[in-house]
Amino acid sequence: MRKIETPALIAATVGPLMTIAGFTIAEASWRGFDPIVHTISALAANDAPTIIFMSTIFILSGFADITVGWYAKSFGVPGRLAILFAGVATFALTLFNTPSQTSESPLHQACAIVAFSLLAFWPLLAVRRGPDVPPMLRPLPGIIATIVLVSVCLWFLYTWIDPHSHIEGLTERIGVAVEGCYPMFVVWHSWFWQRKRAGL
């Protein structure tokens, strides 16, 4: 049986909680920062007072995704690679950070889109068949989860590119929370299912 290993449990739990707590602390420490309007990337821009703190959170989040992709061995290999490379894309978007609050970085935007997209499609890519496959990794849950995650991702991307939108910060935070917490749910559900099936 391909099992969920302990490092995946830890990373899948710590990663999203750390990310959500990180951007919440960063924006709370920046007087006048509007999280409804401004994206999380603005917290790591070159002119942001929170650049070091938020960049560190991004890097740790990338490590968490890579760890989940490597050690969540119950997942289908394409899904594991999607999560792993989402972590690599997070490293890249940290390296190619936003120059300022009023400018954009095409490389940063591209890396962010790649990370968001991979974390939206991984459930479908992680699908497996067989009696030893945890329920959340079977085709129907994988398809439903992917539809939901892709919808949330598209909602954020729409508000991001819409020049008249003033809620891109809010939609991004919702997307990050949903895309981060769903792997945590699947990892823990699969781990408990495997233990129960093994009589532990």
Rg over alpha carbons for the chain, rounded to the nearest Å, is 17
pTM (predicted TM-score):
0.94
One DSSP character per residue, 60-99 reads HHHHHHHHHHHHBTTS-HHHHHHHHHHHHHHHHHHHT--S
Angle at 40 between CA 69 and CA 148, to 5 degrees: 55
Q: What is the pLDDT of residue 147?
A: 98
Give the separation between CA 50 and CA 59, rounded to whole angstroms.
14
Q: Phi and psi at residue 4, in whole multiples of 5°?
A: -80, 120
Tokens of 136: 């959340």
Judge contact between 168 and 159, C-beta under 8 A: yes
Q: What is the pLDDT of residues 25-80, one digit of tens each?
A: 999 999 999 999 999 999 999 999 999 999 999 999 999 999 999 999 999 999 99
Query: Can you give the residue ranges of every domain in the chain?
Result: 6-184
Tokens of 62: 């990338």
DSSP 76: -
Taking all residues of the chain, what is their mean pLDDT, rounded to a whole number? 95
